[in-house]
Structure 1
């Protein structure tokens, strides 16, 4: 499931990805929040915290893929997870740089404060990057 996180900053959205992600999670939580923020601000910044992530249902995977259309609106994205996710996320983050100019970084759980501070900062000049936090 996805849970919305409260993060200060007008165009900053935060979500916890917990357990198995379903189509309903995207339809009821992620998509409406992203659509509202994009409509209001034009561009958004995201923080996704991975907690006990178990994967996607087929419908959840499809909804995740459909969100690629919104990548052009993302300025920054911070992904937070434990050390088990660091290697896997590094590869995935590099994959995302093909589809977006957003700055994307992975942060270990103990650095969530750094992740929040980083995602709240205005990005620098446009250049696709995927770097550890």
Structure 2
């Protein structure tokens, strides 16, 4: 499940992922991304993972398509989690985007929120 959470900023998307993400979860974010891009801004994404287990196959495919289509539109991505594989995903993402991508442990989420706003 992907929940939209509140963090102030004209170009910030903030989400909390738990369980498996589906195609419908990923599609929730598309209008938010386009609203930011329509303002002429680049996207900053705060992505918090709590009890996150990954993607179902259609969700993974939709996420990959979205990331590829918008690779140049991201400015910063804060990945916040508590599992080693989540840190690994963050490192894996870096070559595929122009964004500054940084991993934070779950207990550092307030630091991550400050970083995404800077």
Shared topology, TM-score over 0.5?
A: yes
Q: How many residues align?
A: 117
Please state how far the C-alpha of 1:62 moved relative to its aligned partner.
0.7
User: Any stretches of 5+ residues in structure 1 without a counterpart?
Assistant: 122-133
| 2:52 is the counterpart of 1:32 | no
CA RMSD of aligned residues (A): 1.3
User: Any stretches of 5+ residues in structure 2 without a counterpart?
Assistant: none
Where in structure 1 do 4 or more consecutive aligned residues deviate above 3 Å? none
Larger Rg: 1
Determine the C-alpha separation between the residues in 2 that align with 1:54 and 1:89.
10
- 2:75 maps to 75
- 2:49 maps to 50
3-state secondary structure, aligned to 2:7: coil
3-state secondary structure, aligned to 1:72: coil
Cα deviation 1:72-102 (Å, max 9, x = unaligned): 11111101112xx2x3233322322211121
Q: TM-score, normalised by structure 1?
A: 0.81
Determine the C-alpha separation between the residues in 2 that align with 1:41 and 1:117.
22
